[in-house]
Chains A and B, each alone.
Chain A
Amino acid sequence: MSSTATILDAAKPIPERLVMPATDHLVDSLDPEPHPPDDAEDLPTAAVVFDVDAVSVYYGEFRAVQDASLKVHEHEITAFIGPSGCGKTTLLRCFNRMNDLISSARVTGSLCYYGVDLYNPQVDAVEVRRRIGMVFQKPNPFPKSIKDNVAYGPKVAGLAKKGPAMDDIVENSLRKAALWDEVKDRLNDNALGLSGGQQQRLCIARAIATDPDVLLMDEPCSALDPIATTRIEELMHDLKTDYSIVIVTHNMQQAARVSDRTAFFSVEVNADSDSRTGILVEYDFTQHIFSNPSDERTENYVTGRFG
């Protein structure tokens, strides 16, 4: 309804680069199972990590996300795509109770993590965040040394003290985030001396260092060059065997390349109150979303005809 696409437009073939992931070799070599076929509903599905049921998020009176329902599965990469301001970040931040830090934010509906309601009053947000790590949309390294940035989480969680054990964690995390070679000679330099892309990879390393079960990544590659982006995408594939990942991205090729399932969000303008609310339009296997979406709005967006 929001689109002006004609039937002819909708029938246009989808650009090939969106359908065929450029890093197919990764998928084949690392993932024992190929991407789910078109009727993947028949396959046994992995355990559900997040069960999001009719979640709405408000900032004061403003409803940023309305009635989103979806299931995030274990050992999968779930991508959130959609136009700016549709509430991707807002919903993602519910997954580790990050919205608790915003006093005006309020969450309704139910959000279960392995069956446990995250918003149960007995649940401690700090415990949640130790299991569910986050990489923010804007790089936010501490004004400390590179090493201290990575060591911060493990130290706080009591995983390791100063010394060789911590050095190992720091090195491994930086290697995984494809940053080690660039910073190994200046681990004691201030992290703010790094470039924007390096800072973002440092934030990824910092999040990995705490050894979470789930990684929430809010546009982790928006400041990265193609090489670093590829490294991060490889990293996500590596991590997938042990972790579950939810990633927000504006890069549709990336969503098509790395994710198993994709959620498409959009903005609905309420005619009477003139308020804008983010809604979940469609959630399905990535292949569905990009090759054969059920909703016209999804199709328009993924083919670049979003109005």
Chain B
Amino acid sequence: MQTNEPVSVGASGSARQNVPLTTAALAGSPHRLRKENLISKLMYGAALVSVVVSGLIMYALFSEAWVFMRDVDWAQTWGQIGWFPRRGIYDMPTLLIASFWTTLIAMVVAAPLGLGAAIYLSEYARSSHRALFKPILEVLAGIPSVVFGFFALLWLAPNVVANIGGAGGRGSMVAAGLGVGILTIPLVASISEDAMAAVPKSLREASAGLGARKAVTTLRVVLPAAVSGLVASMIVAVSRALGETMVVFMAGGAADAAVRTITPYDGSLTMPAAMASLASGTDQVVGEGLTFQSLFFVGLVLFLLTLGLNLIGDRFVARIREQY
């Protein structure tokens, strides 16, 4: 105890001999190292399972779609009167137009309302209001899409679509699009709000200190700084709208076949609706030889569209992002 050697006191408070220092002293406890090793292996396993499952799905998708692409009479996939898979008529534009309309209408509803809700929650709302509105949004996000399907068909179609030029009594792409849009609002709102909340407070203070009003601060500082999150929210929303099945199946106004139309007030089949209608029902997928495979082909197109959208979004974000 009366040595003059330097002694440091560790976090535990116990005196520790540092001189002479040996490698063994720094080697760490074998028990902890083993535990850490095990944990990292478990995590690796979990990651591996999800990769393998995704790989199998991709394989199923590609192999069946490949059969379709190999054997189909390509003239039947373009420029036909519509989507009649059980009769061997696979007019893709029919589905693409329907998907385009419902997604566009959904985004026209969801983008401004979702973004507006996010701006309100993150920039304007008093904390008591935020405490009220956030749970409401979360509840909205948790409602099963079949409920939105009913809502679109039984309420939106007669009360809204009928008043903006459509027919009230039946489903249509507009009714389906509105339903999907409402369903997507909480998604846009919550991702956008997270992105805006992540913008440091000091930037808002800097802006306010220079004599900017709140609206200016939001528009010129917060939104540009949050742009990657905002674009992400839009991409997620578009992917969700493109892939939404139940609402368009119920409110889209077509059963298992559709005549090509570019009028959104008509009923039609989007890609996922076409897949759902093919795969449901008691007769399962019966029809012309390639009917079953067409389902996978449509799935592949949908997958590639969503993938492309995400890649473009990433590029876009990398270019205009304001990093803080």
Asked if B126 contacts A126 (CB within 8 A), the reply is: no
Complex A-B, nearest 4 residue pairs according to Cβ-Cβ distance, in ascending order: A130-B211, A153-B210, A143-B322, A140-B202
Residue A35, interface by CB 8 Å: no
- The size of the chain A interface, using a CB distance under 8 A, is 28
Question: Which chain B positions have C-beta within 8 A of A161?
Answer: none
Question: Which chain A positions have C-beta within 8 A of B206?
Answer: 136, 140-142, 203, 206
> Can you name 26 A-B pairs with beta carbons within 8 Å?
A96-B209, A98-B205, A101-B204, A126-B208, A126-B212, A127-B211, A129-B209, A133-B210, A136-B205, A140-B206, A142-B207, A142-B322, A143-B224, A143-B322, A144-B322, A153-B210, A156-B210, A156-B211, A156-B216, A157-B211, A190-B323, A192-B324, A203-B206, A206-B206, A207-B210, A210-B211
With both beta carbons as reference points, the residue of chain B lying nearest to A209 in the complex is identified as B210
Residue A152, interface by CB 8 Å: yes
Residue A134, interface by CB 8 Å: yes
In the complex, what distance in Å separates the CA atom of A143 from the CA atom of B203? 9
Question: Which chain A positions have C-beta within 8 A of B126?
Answer: 103
Residue A138, interface by CB 8 Å: yes
Which of A140, A143, A153 interacts with B323 by CB under 8 Å? A143
Residue numbers of A with Cβ under 8 A of B are 96, 98, 101, 103, 125-127, 129-130, 133-134, 136, 138, 140-144, 152-153, 156-157, 190, 192, 203, 206-207, 210
Asked if B208 contacts A101 (CB within 8 A), the reply is: yes
Asked if B205 contacts A210 (CB within 8 A), the reply is: no
In the complex, what distance in Å separates the CA atom of A206 from the CA atom of B206? 10
Asked if B323 contacts A129 (CB within 8 A), the reply is: no
In the complex, what distance in Å separates the CA atom of A192 from the CA atom of B206? 14
Nearest-Cβ distance from residue B110 to partner chain A, whole angstroms? 27
Asked if B205 contacts A140 (CB within 8 A), the reply is: yes
With both beta carbons as reference points, the residue of chain A lying nearest to B199 in the complex is identified as A143
Which of A126, A142, A190 interacts with B211 by CB under 8 Å? A126
Question: Which chain B positions have C-beta within 8 A of A210?
Answer: 210-211
Nearest-Cβ distance from residue B125 to partner chain A, whole angstroms? 11
Question: Which chain A positions have C-beta within 8 A of B211?
Answer: 126-127, 129-130, 153, 156-157, 210
Asked if A140 contacts B203 (CB within 8 A), the reply is: yes
Which of A138, A143, A152, A157 interacts with B225 by CB under 8 Å? A143
Residue B113, interface by CB 8 Å: no
Residue B16, interface by CB 8 Å: no
In the complex, what distance in Å separates the CA atom of A85 from the CA atom of B216? 32
In the complex, what distance in Å separates the CA atom of A129 from the CA atom of B210? 6
Residue B96, interface by CB 8 Å: no
Question: Which chain A positions have C-beta within 8 A of B200?
Answer: 140
In the complex, what distance in Å separates the CA atom of A141 from the CA atom of B200? 11
B278-324 interface with A by 8 A CB criterion = 322-324
Asked if B221 contacts A207 (CB within 8 A), the reply is: no
In the complex, what distance in Å separates the CA atom of A130 from the CA atom of B324? 25
B205, B209, B220 — most chain A CB neighbours (10 Å): B209
Nearest-Cβ distance from residue A59 to partner chain B, whole angstroms? 15
Asked if A133 contacts B209 (CB within 8 A), the reply is: yes
Nearest-Cβ distance from residue B31 to partner chain A, whole angstroms? 43
In the complex, what distance in Å separates the CA atom of A234 from the CA atom of B221? 31
With both beta carbons as reference points, the residue of chain B lying nearest to A155 in the complex is identified as B220
Nearest-Cβ distance from residue B268 to partner chain A, whole angstroms? 44
Question: Which chain A positions have C-beta within 8 A of B41?
Answer: none
With both beta carbons as reference points, the residue of chain B lying nearest to A124 in the complex is identified as B213
Question: Which chain B positions have C-beta within 8 A of A133?
Answer: 209-210
Asked if A98 contacts B220 (CB within 8 A), the reply is: no
Which of A134, A141, A144 interacts with B209 by CB under 8 Å? A134
In the complex, what distance in Å separates the CA atom of A33 from the CA atom of B224? 48
With both beta carbons as reference points, the residue of chain B lying nearest to A97 in the complex is identified as B208
Asked if A152 contacts B204 (CB within 8 A), the reply is: no
In the complex, what distance in Å separates the CA atom of A96 from the CA atom of B213? 14
